[in-house]
Amino acid sequence: MKLAYWMYAGPAHIGTLRIASSFKNVHAIMHAPLGDDYFNVMRSMLERERDYTPVTASVVDRNVLARGSQEKVVDNIVRKDREEHPDLILLTPTCTSSILQEDLHNFVERAQLDSKGDVMLADVNHYRFNELQAADRTLQQVVHFYIEKAKKKGDIPSGKTEKPSVNIIGISTLGFHHHHDCTELKRLMVDLGIEINEVIPEGASVNNLKNLPRAWFNLVPYRELGLMAAKYLEEEFGTPCVDITPMGVVETARCIRKIQQVINAQGADVDYSEYIDNQTLYVSQAAWFSRSIDCQNLTGKKAVVFGDNTHAAAMTKILAREMGIHVVCAGTYCKYDGDWFKEQVSEYCDEVLISEDNGQIADMIARIEPSAIFGTQMERHVGKRLDIPCGVIASPIHIQNFPIGYKPFLGYEGTNQITDLIYNSFTLGMEDHLLEIFGGHDTKEVITKGISAGSDLNWTREAQIELNKVPGFVRGKVKRNTEKFARERGLNEISLEVMYAAKESVGA
Amino acid sequence: MTVAQPQPEGLSPECETGNYHTFCPISCVAWLYQKIEDSFFLVTGTKTCGYFLQNAMGVMIFAEPRYAMAELEEGDISAKLNDYDELKRLCLQIKRDRNPSVIVWIGTCTTEIIKTDLEGLAPKLESELGIPIVVARANGLDYAFTQGEDTVLAAMAARCPDKAPVAETEKNERNAIQKLMNFGRQKEDVAQEESEYANHPPLVLFGSLPDPVVTNLTLELKKQGIKVSGWLPAKRYTELPVLEEGYYVAGVNPFLSRTATTLMRRRKCKLIGAPFPIGPDGTRAWIEKICSVFNIEPQGLDEREAQIWASMEDYLQIVRGKSVFFMGDNLLEVSLARFLIRCGMTCPEIGIPYMDKRYQDAELKLLEKTCHEMGVPLPRIVEKPDNYNQIQRIYDLKPDLVITGMAHANPLEARGINTKWSVEFTFAQMHGFTNARDILELVTRPLRRNNSLKDLGWDKLVKEDAKV
């Protein structure tokens, strides 16, 4: 047992449901007790979905415990097949059904006999995988299922498309800014003269999966979702996979160069260097921003990054490499893929934290006291408590992270959005500077919120007055550092001298 | 109660498939940890439970809540790890970090299936730890949403002291309601005030309500000379009310049938079966019933009720003649429907997760009476509804308002059907005379909003589905 208050990645079935409800005309039936269909609420609220979420539960109740599901699951599948005519019904196990150990495979086979659509079982163990791993597996499983089916029917279109083309793999419902990213990637492909073969799973029809092999290559923008499917297609059809996330100026260029290499190897003759230069120098504003004096003020400021592998790694590189910001700690909650993360970010930050424990992450932030945090909603709230600004860069997210306006994180427009996010998160450079010079906006009695609370040390009148002159947003930090300094030396009164000594020693 | 006779005129709930959306009963943690200030709730379950709580509670989760998951791992499921040792380790940690007066273990589907003997483990651990451990099996196999509170309160009922402590006056001092009511008064005045109450056997109310509502209902009864000896639950676990044999108890919410049963059978209390104090009509009927049990002639209720109705006239004009459809997910449906019918609405269907016909008897009778008096047909009551079928019926009936869960609210709105999210009724303050207006504020909100949009031609925002 583990004492847990918060989790970064959801349970396995959420991943499976994200895949199922991303496809068009696919219905998921959860083998679950009453109340486990909370996914529908999330999708309806966060995505503001106009349509009913195609997920129902085959309810596990006392009768099921006593007698087994018997006909119930089969009946529910067949009923849904009749009511909605889905192309595919995906039977989804949950934590409850994992321990009931009913033969769900058997139910699927029996239901298939009476269903017009296809029926399959999501092969995901609740206790071994989390949401992200399950989503990756389920997508691979669905792709595999339809490729095999088409093979049997001799239905696979032969050969590649005439012009270079791509499958974009991994765009999914409830993904962080996935819809905007998808639009941006499509635009990028148009710019590069590459046709979109298929986008999966979002908005795709399972009947089109047999066309996947026609693409010249697969683009997997997110580390967490789509790699398994792409690997499978590579093994099966030799379709190469580009798995560089085009997030940030440098990485976007790297991704495009890789695409160039991959399609030239198949007989295309393209050179994207001019396009990359043009975009980098004149279209995207990010490179220019890095050079501008605004960004100069951010130099060496301390930041902390935490999120999923894709976004935390890309963000760390952007901050360190493209803006000269000092990333003290970069972290991820994707423990199962921690080595990859370490390898990606080690040279861009002082320390790497791989953890699913939000308490540990909050402690790290409190210890480092960065000028800005880039994390999930949890880190945003930690930031609120500590009075440190936070830009949200990864799930878990709230409804405000599903903006209606166009806000991609990927591609060249993505670099612009990220620049805004970073710049707005740090206290504006010049404002910061001026505040420090003039001692805050309010030159009369500064309100000393939180100064006296929880302190066992005595501040002399002079020291207190001096402390009040420190601008509000760093005052807490100065106070904490001074007190730490005093405590370490066994001083119980803080005078002006102690304050200055502390400042000299720790830079408080 | 005998077998339900087929009465064409009466209310006889029918039962569907139980394929409906509702919250998991562990959600009761969200409001109970706030209500019982010195408690800590430990939900023994899986990531699924944790994910639900984390998302359903929204921003509350960031406020260092006094609840946590004991997240079961594979070793717990296969019994490689010892339940007792594991729970002991976590509870010690909780004791060290939070030092609560009670730890409530919430059993879940998983602990049911692997048959963790929480009830058996609790007393042993309780004596080792020196902290009371209350076990409530609030799981999705057996219960829906608000019934979670019912299981917790039923377990708490067993912990109420059975003898009034000797230092009665001191106890009173600490009682928040008493204190509030006696605020700034001398002891003698208080003693004098005691005589303002009629001489009646002790009355304890059950059901968790926000403190302002507790004060409000307590004062409402005080006007009739009825003294509320205590509430289950109180603000603190250490202030649970005394329950002696022969005490009277009354419920304030329709989903508390297990608690009622426990109070009657285990604590030998007498249940006052009344409609629930939701809406001015319900509040009045609730007070009248309590008065009648104590042989008290209720005073001034006519005027009080009339005055509340008059003050709501602006809202009543909006709802009169409109129809409301309850999809059913929180067991408040019958009381709300009864109130809305009194407001002049019609109600074709009341979906409800579970219908305890004995506990809700008085409420059902009032519903029937209200329908006759208002001259509207009796609603169809559907227990364990089937959401898919209900949506077909909604398309056919085209009600003016559907009260439903969030899973269906946006899709229905996109199809031009007004909805109100049902969970808001669980968290809103809606009991008593004073709060009746708040119910209508909620009910009329979609009608008012959509009224201001009505000339824009934005009713149907989905492309017409091909009817197969």
3-state secondary structure A296-339: HCCCCCEEEEEECHHHHHHHHHHHHHHHCCEEEEEEECCHHHHH
**Exposed, middle or buried: residue A491 (CB in 10 Å: 0-12, 13-18, 19+)?**
middle
- Confidence (pLDDT) at A443: 45
Tokens for B92?
């010690």
DSSP alpha helices (H): ranges in B231-356?
257-265, 279-293, 301-311, 313-319, 333-342
Which residues, listed in sequence order, are joined to residue A304 by a DSSP beta bridge?
Answer: A329, A373
Question: Does position A311 have pLDDT exceeding 90, yes or no?
Answer: yes
- Between chains, do A85 and B52 touch, taking CB under 8 Å as contact? no
Half-sphere exposure in the Cβ direction for B439 (13 Å, CA): 29
- Confidence (pLDDT) at A501: 82
Tokens for A453?
């609370």
- Is A294 catalytic? The answer is yes
B57-66 residue pLDDT tens: 776 666 678 8
Q: What percent of chain B has pLDDT over 90?
A: 77
B364-391 residue pLDDT tens: 999 999 999 999 999 999 999 999 999 9
- Confidence (pLDDT) at A222: 98
- The whole-angstrom distance between residue A436's C-alpha and the CA centroid of its chain comes to 36
- Confidence (pLDDT) at A97: 86
- Can you tell me the distance from the alpha carbon of B217 to that of B228, in angstroms, rounded to the nearest whole number? 9
Q: Does B77 touch chain A (CB under 8 A)?
A: yes
B241-290 residue pLDDT tens: 999 999 999 999 999 999 999 999 999 999 999 999 999 999 999 999 99
Query: Which residue from A minimizes the CA distance to B413?
Result: A50
**Cβ-based neighbour number of residue A120 at 10 Å:** 18
The residue count of chain B comes to 468
Q: Does A126 touch chain B (CB under 8 A)?
A: yes
Mean pLDDT value of segment A138-153: 97
- Confidence (pLDDT) at B219: 94
Question: Does position B171 have pLDDT exceeding 50, yes or no?
Answer: no
Distances (CA, A) of B295 to A173, B245, B292, B437: 62, 20, 5, 30
| DSSP-assigned states of every residue in B171-191 | HHHH-HHHHHHTTT--HHHHH
Q: Does A5 touch chain B (CB under 8 A)?
A: yes
Phi-psi group of A302: left, alpha or beta (phi > 0 → left; psi -120 to 50 → alpha; rest → beta): beta
- Confidence (pLDDT) at B455: 82
In angstroms, what separates the C-alpha of A397 from chain B's closest C-alpha? 10
Q: Which of B388, B408, B409 sits opposite A83 (nearest CB)?
A: B388
In angstroms, what separates the C-alpha of B292 from chain A's closest C-alpha? 40
- Between chains, do B407 and A37 touch, taking CB under 8 Å as contact? yes
Which residues have C-beta within 8 Å of that of residue B194, sequence separation ≥ 6? Answer: none
A358-370 residue pLDDT tens: 989 999 999 999 9
The dihedrals phi and psi of B200, each to the nearest 5 degrees, come to -140, 160
- Between chains, do B48 and A49 touch, taking CB under 8 Å as contact? no
Mean pLDDT value of segment A191-210: 96
Tokens for B354?
């579970």
Nearest residue to A247 via CA among A418, A95, A80, A132: A418
Q: What percent of chain A has pLDDT over 90?
A: 69
Tokens for A370?
């960065």
Mean pLDDT value of segment B26-42: 94
- Can you tell me the distance from the alpha carbon of B95 to that of B12, in angstroms, rounded to the nearest whole number? 49
Question: Does position B6 have pLDDT exceeding 50, yes or no?
Answer: no
Helix axes A131-153, A227-237, angle to 10 degrees: 30
**Cβ-based neighbour number of residue B448 at 10 Å:** 12
Query: Which residue from A minimizes the CA distance to B67?
Result: A5
Tokens for B265?
């059978």
In this structure, are strands B67-71 and A2-4 parallel, antiparallel, or unpaired?
antiparallel
Which residues have C-beta within 8 Å of that of residue B365, sequence separation ≥ 6? Answer: B275
Mean pLDDT value of segment A353-381: 93
Mean pLDDT value of segment B21-45: 94
Residues B57 and B45: beta-carbon distance below 8 Å: no
Q: How many CB pairs under 8 A join A and B?
A: 158
Half-sphere exposure in the Cβ direction for A167 (13 Å, CA): 31
Q: Which of B22, B54, B93 sits opposite A35 (nearest CB)?
A: B22
- Confidence (pLDDT) at A70: 79
Question: Does position B68 have pLDDT exceeding 50, yes or no?
Answer: yes
In angstroms, what separates the C-alpha of B217 from chain A's closest C-alpha? 32
Q: Which of residues 384 through 413 in chain B touch A, CB cutoff 8 A?
A: 388, 391, 405-411
- Can you tell me the distance from the alpha carbon of B364 to that of A258, in angstroms, rounded to the nearest whole number? 70
- Confidence (pLDDT) at A459: 86
Average pLDDT, chain A: 90
Query: Which residue from A minimizes the CA distance to B47?
Result: A11
Cis bond leading into B201, ω under 30°? no
Which residues have C-beta within 8 Å of that of residue A197, sequence separation ≥ 6? Answer: A161, A165, A166, A167, A211, A212, A214, A215
**Cβ-based neighbour number of residue B353 at 10 Å:** 23
Q: Which of A11, A42, A51 sits opposite B48 (nearest CB)?
A: A11
The dihedrals phi and psi of A23, each to the nearest 5 degrees, come to -65, 155
Report which DSSP code applies to B6. -
Give me the numbers of helices (H) and strands (E) for chain A, helices first please. Answer: 23, 16
B187-245 residue pLDDT tens: 555 556 667 899 999 999 999 999 999 999 999 999 999 999 999 999 999 999 999 99
Q: What ipTM was assigned to the predicted interfaces of this complex? A: 0.88
Which residues have C-beta within 8 Å of that of residue B200, sequence separation ≥ 6? Answer: B225, B226, B227, B248, B294, B296
Which residues, listed in sequence order, are joined to residue A56 by a DSSP beta bridge?
Answer: A29
Where do the DSSP E strands lie in B36-157? Answer: 39-45, 67-71, 102-107, 133-137
Question: Does position B357 have pLDDT exceeding 90, yes or no?
Answer: yes
Question: Does position A163 have pLDDT exceeding 70, yes or no?
Answer: yes
Nearest residue to A145 via CA among A232, A241, A16: A232
pLDDT band at residue A495, thresholds of 50, 70 and 90?
confident
Half-sphere exposure in the Cβ direction for A134 (13 Å, CA): 27
A218-271 residue pLDDT tens: 999 999 999 999 999 999 999 999 999 999 999 999 999 999 999 999 999 999
The dihedrals phi and psi of A403, each to the nearest 5 degrees, come to -70, 155
Question: Does position A344 have pLDDT exceeding 90, yes or no?
Answer: yes
Q: Which one has a higher pLDDT value, A175 or A503?
A: A175
Q: What percent of chain B has pLDDT over 70?
A: 89
Question: Does position A169 have pLDDT exceeding 80, yes or no?
Answer: yes
Residues B43 and B29: beta-carbon distance below 8 Å: yes
Which of A41, A58, A71, A133 to mutate: most B Cβ within 10 Å? A41
Residues A93 and A126: beta-carbon distance below 8 Å: yes
Mean pLDDT value of segment A20-42: 94
Residues A315 and A409: beta-carbon distance below 8 Å: no
Which residues have C-beta within 8 Å of that of residue B66, sequence separation ≥ 6? Answer: B33, B39, B40, B41, B98, B100
- Confidence (pLDDT) at B5: 42
A432-459 residue pLDDT tens: 656 666 655 554 444 443 334 456 678 8
- Candidates A37, A75, A191, A294; catalytic one: A294
- Between chains, do A2 and B70 touch, taking CB under 8 Å as contact? yes
